[in-house]
Structure formats: C-alpha cells, structure tokens
C-alpha cells in the first residue's frame, strides 16, 4: 500500500492493521537531542484510546507504546525512531460478518475494488487504530515544537450541531469535558444528544478546531507546498474527516473585502501584527505571525447498529445491523489526531523553511 508516509524532512511512516500484531510508526528525520520517553508519548495516546467515556467504544485498549529505537540516555539520537503499540484486546470474530458485505459509509467496498480482497478484521488499515502511529509521531513533533515556543492545541468545537459559545469557552475546560469541549454547558448538551443517538442506534458528527500559537511569520512555501494546502492534506488524510477550513474558511465566500481583510498594525516591539485574524494565520501559503486556526468536519461514525440497506459480495441487496464495538461519535477521539497531524505538518514546514534565506544560513554557520 503506497502513501503511508507523510512529511519531507520530519518523515513519518505508519504501519499496521487493527487486528494484526500491532500498529506503529517510524519517524525519520527527528533532530538529535530532544528529551523523550515513553511516558511523554503515552500521555498523547491516552487522549485517543477508547473506553474512557460512555461516548467512545467500550473496547478496553491499553494502547501502551514501546520505543524500539532512536533514543539513548533519554534523548533522540537523530536515527529513525520506531514506536510500536501491540494489539491486545481484539475480538476478530465480532467482525467476521462484515467480511461478506459492504458497510455503508465505510471503506470495505473501495478496499475490495482496489486490492481484490481486504483484511476485514476491525477494518484493517482503514480502522481508527491506524491513527495510533500518527498520534505517537505527533507527540514527538509537539514536544519538539514546544521547545521552539510553538504550541498546538485541538478541541471539540461542535457535536451534532451543538456549538461551543466562545464567551463561555476556556482552554482550562478542555480536559474537564468528556468530549474535550472548552464550553462545559455545550458539552453537557452534546452529551444529552449523544445519549439520544445511542438509544436510536445512531451516531453523530462534529467539528474539531485546532490552534497553533507562537508561530513566526514566513513559514510555508509559496506554491505547491503552501502551509494551508499541506495542513489541509494532513488533516483530510484522517479517516472520517470530510472538510477542512483555515480561518473563516467557507464563510469568506459571502464576506466582503472590507470585512475580510485583516488590517496590519505596527506592534509595540517594532514588529507587525494584524488587528483581526480572518485569514487564520496564513497568507500566500505562509504563516503571518498570528495564531493558525484550522477546523475539521468529522462525519458521524459509519458503523451503526440501526438497520441499513447494503449489498453483499455476491452483489445481492441485503439488510444489515452492524455488530462489534463502535464509537457513537468519532470527534472526541479524533481531537488529538487532528492536533498530531497539524503538529507534524507545521514542524515539517518549520524545518523546510530553514533554508529560505541566505542571511539566516550565514548567521547559523557563523555561530559554528
Ligand atoms: C479515531 C477514529 C476512530 C474511528 N472509529 C470508528 C469506529 O469505531 N467505527 C467506524 O465505523 N468508523 C470509525 N472511524 C472512521 C473510519 O475509519 C472511516 O470512516 C472509514 O475508514 C472510511 O473513511 P472515510 O470516512 O474517510 O471515507 C474512526 C476514525 C477515527 C479517526
């Protein structure tokens, strides 16, 4: 399967199937000298693992990460970092039924058409477990970015149409909400909606917002490797993400230039700032020094217990009711995945941008 590698300098390759021996990632291109241990990576993975709330699948997956290479005496060595999470609680028989038919909204049909057969156990490579490698690699990227003063934070913006009220939102609330919503009233309302959807054997979607703070201006390449284009690709590559917006996103289509333009202002320290941030921190494919603001639309979980119509592998119309353990909403577990993909993309672009100016290269070599 081609296309399992992301990034140009900070390069990550994820591997593994939901019900194979394990899932993991190889990170190549991580600079030497970053302090790193399993506990640090585990903290990020714990935000993704299921079974923590009523709104994620009751599967109990420990998802314990093991570092297999690339770290010596608590620091990255500059060589490939290999991370593995062994699959432990898989119940493949839950999924034997889906071998014979195509789940509406899932990737069963397209995998069969592309490869002629598929690892149907838990969705194989199209499973949400594939994102474990992304989050583990994203943890390293986030730690490295933090050391540069760049912070990436994602949270749930809405679920099933219930949106956060920005006046009530606080970043301190994110970890208090089982849905990772910064507005606890909206979180309670969304929980009630999910209870209802669970009774109806249905599922809900939502929006994840991600903010990158501390980003200097001028990161990103101006043509095919635009920062916004690469962020969109990074986040759209997550299963179930169906739309990505930067800044005001689709709303710009109905705005007028006089409102949509962000006025530049001279900041106190002699630098240049913007009065507003409709652009979401990116102009011409490069960061403009404001916070980068990205939103991802996540569809409702496709595997639902409610009766649905589909077709089996013999091409016959059938009615199904999907068994197995599935999230009634994907959004909360995907929050850290969006954060990880954003961090991986931003870090790669930061590293790529280091060769863009001769004066900075000279400054670097003079220091040697
Ligand atoms: C973290 C995460 C968890 C997911 N959990 C499930 C799940 O329990 N059941 C399911 O049917 N789909 C789940 N998905 C979504 C499927 O992987 C996805 O819808 C499927 O691969 C089809 O791809 P597409 O929706 O991008 O077209 C999950 C996705 C993510 C990112």
Least confident window among 96-105, 196-205, 236-245: 96-105
- Give the pLDDT confidence score for residue 49 in this predicted structure: 82
| Ligand 1 and 334: CB distance under 6 A | yes
pLDDT at res. 83: 98
For the cut 80, the answer to whether the pLDDT of residue 325 exceeds it is no
pLDDT of residue 61: 66
pLDDT reading at 51 higher than 80 = no
| Centroid of ligand 1 to alpha carbon of 176 (angstroms) | 25
d(C-alpha 281, C-alpha 74), whole Å: 35
CA distance linking residue 245 with residue 250, whole number of Å = 7
Q: Which atom of ligand 1 is nearest to the CA of 333?
A: 1
Mutation probe of ligand 1 site: the residue of 105, 110, 241, 301 with most atoms within 8 A of C-beta: 301
> Could you count the other beta carbons within 10 Å of the beta carbon of residue 161?
11
Q: Give per-residue pLDDT as tens, 185-194.
A: 999 999 999 9
CA distance 362 to 211: 32
Could you report the per-residue pLDDT of 58-77, keeping only the tens digit for each?
566 689 999 999 999 999 99
User: Contact, 179 vs 164, CB < 8 A?
Assistant: no
- State residue 118 phi and psi, 5-degree precision: -150, 155
What are the φ/ψ torsions at residue 366 (nearest 5 degrees)?
Answer: -65, -30
Q: Ligand 1, atom 4: nearest CA belongs to which residue?
A: 128
Regarding predicted confidence, which is higher, 97 or 341? Answer: 341
Residue 184: which pLDDT band, with cuts at 50, 70 and 90?
very high
Cβ of 235 below 6 Å from ligand 1:
no
Distance CA 94, CA 73 (A): 43
For the segment 301-309, the average pLDDT, to the nearest whole number, is 95
Strand partners, 153: 211
Atom of ligand 1 nearest to the CA of 299: 25
Quick one: three-class SS letters along the chain?
CCCCEECCCCEEEEEECCCCCEEEEEEECCCCCCECCHHHHHHHHHCCCCCCCCCCCCCCCCCCEEECCCEECCEECCCCEEEEEECCCCCHHHHHHHHHECCCCCCHHHHHHHHCCCCCHHHHHHCHHHHHHHHHHHHHHHHHHHHCCCEEEEEEEEECCEECCHHHCCHHHHHHCCCCCCCHHHHHHHHHHHHHHHHCCCCECEEEEEEEECCCCCCCCCCCCCHHHHHHHHHHCCCCEEEEEECCHHHHHHCCHHHHCCCEEECCCCCEEECCCCCCCEECCEECCCCEEEEEEECCCCCCCCCEEEEECCCCEEEECCCCCCCCECHHHHHHHHHHHHHHHHHHHHHHHHHCCHHHHHHHHHCC
Among protein residues, the one with the nearest Cα to ligand 1's atom 29 is 128
Q: Which two tokens stand for residue 177?
A: 């909400």
- Answer whether residue 57 shows pLDDT above 70: no
- Determine the distance separating the centroid of ligand 1 and the alpha carbon of 335, expressed in angstroms: 13
Find residue 35's DSSP bridge partners. Answer: 75
Atom of ligand 1 nearest to the CA of 303: 11
Residue 127 and residue 10 in contact, taking contact as beta carbons nearer than 8 Å: no
At 294, is the pLDDT very low, low, confident or very high (cuts 50, 70, 90)? very high
CB-CB contact of 9 with 352 (8 Å)? yes
Per-residue confidence (pLDDT) for residue 320, from 0 to 100: 93
Q: Smallest Cα–Cα separation from 263: which of 252, 280, 278?
A: 278
Gap between the Cα atoms of 344 and 340, Å rounded: 6
> CB 213: neighbour CB atoms within 10 A?
13
Q: Which residues contact 291 (CB under 8 A, 6 or more apart)?
A: 211, 212, 213, 215, 277, 281
Calculate mean pLDDT across residues 135-162.
Answer: 98
Q: Separation of 76 CA from ligand 1 center, angstroms?
A: 32
Specify the residue with its C-alpha closest to ligand 1, atom 19.
Answer: 240
Rounded CA-CA distance 194/348 in Å is 37
Of 52, 63, 94, 127, the residue with max ligand 1 atoms within 8 A of its CB, to mutate for a pocket test, comes to 127
User: 34 CA distance to ligand 1 centroid (A)?
Assistant: 33
pTM above 0.85, yes or no: yes
Query: Measuring from atom 25 of ligand 1, which residue has the nearest CA?
Result: 240
> Taking residues 164-186, what's their average pLDDT?
97
**Radius of gyration from C-alpha coordinates of the chain:** 22
Task: Specify the pLDDT at position 90.
Answer: 64
């Amino acid at each position: 399967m081609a296309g399992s590698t992301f990034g140009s300098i900070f390069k990550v390759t994820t591997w593994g199937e939901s019900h194979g021996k394990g899932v993991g990632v190889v990170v190549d291109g991580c600079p030497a000298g970053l302090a790193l241990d399993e506990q640090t990576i585990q903290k990020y993975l714990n935000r993704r693992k299921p079974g923590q709330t009523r709104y994620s699948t009751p599967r109990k997956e420990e998802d314990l990460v093991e570092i297999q290479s690339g770290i010596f005496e608590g620091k990255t060595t500059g060589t490939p970092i290999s991370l593995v999470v062994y699959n432990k609680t898989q119940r493949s028989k839950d999924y034997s039924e889906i071998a014979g038919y195509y789940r509406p909204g899932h990737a069963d049909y397209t995998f069969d058409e592309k490869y002629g057969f598929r690892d149907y156990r838990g969705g194989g490579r199209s499973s949400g477990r594939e994102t474990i490698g992304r989050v583990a690699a994203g943890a390293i990227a986030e730690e490295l970015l933090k050391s540069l003063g760049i912070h990436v934070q994602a949270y749930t913006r809405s679920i099933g149409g219930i949106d956060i009220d920005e006046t009530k939102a606080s970043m301190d609330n994110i970890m208090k909400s089982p849905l990772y919503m910064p507005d606890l009233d909206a979180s309670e309302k969304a929980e009630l909606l999910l209870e209802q959807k669970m009774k109806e054997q249905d599922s809900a979607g939502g929006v994840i917002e991600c903010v990158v703070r501390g980003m200097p201006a001028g990161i990103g390449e101006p043509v095919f490797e635009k920062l916004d284009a690469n962020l969109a690709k990074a986040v759209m590559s997550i299963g179930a993400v169906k739309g990505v917006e930067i800044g005001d996103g689709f709303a710009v289509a109905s705005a007028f230039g006089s409102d949509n333009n962000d006025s530049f202002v001279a900041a106190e320290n002699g630098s240049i700032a913007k009065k507003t941030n409709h652009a979401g921190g990116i102009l011409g494919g490069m960061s403009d020094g404001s916070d980068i603001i990205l939103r991802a639309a996540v569809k409702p979980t496709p595997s639902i217990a409610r009766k649905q119509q589909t077709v089996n592998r013999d091409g016959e119309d059938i009615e199904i009711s999907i068994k197995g353990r599935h999230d009634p909403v994907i959004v909360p577990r995907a929050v850290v995945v969006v954060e990880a993909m954003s961090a991986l993309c931003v870090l790669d672009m930061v590293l790529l941008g280091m060769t863009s100016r001769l004066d900075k290269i000279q400054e670097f070599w003079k220091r040697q």
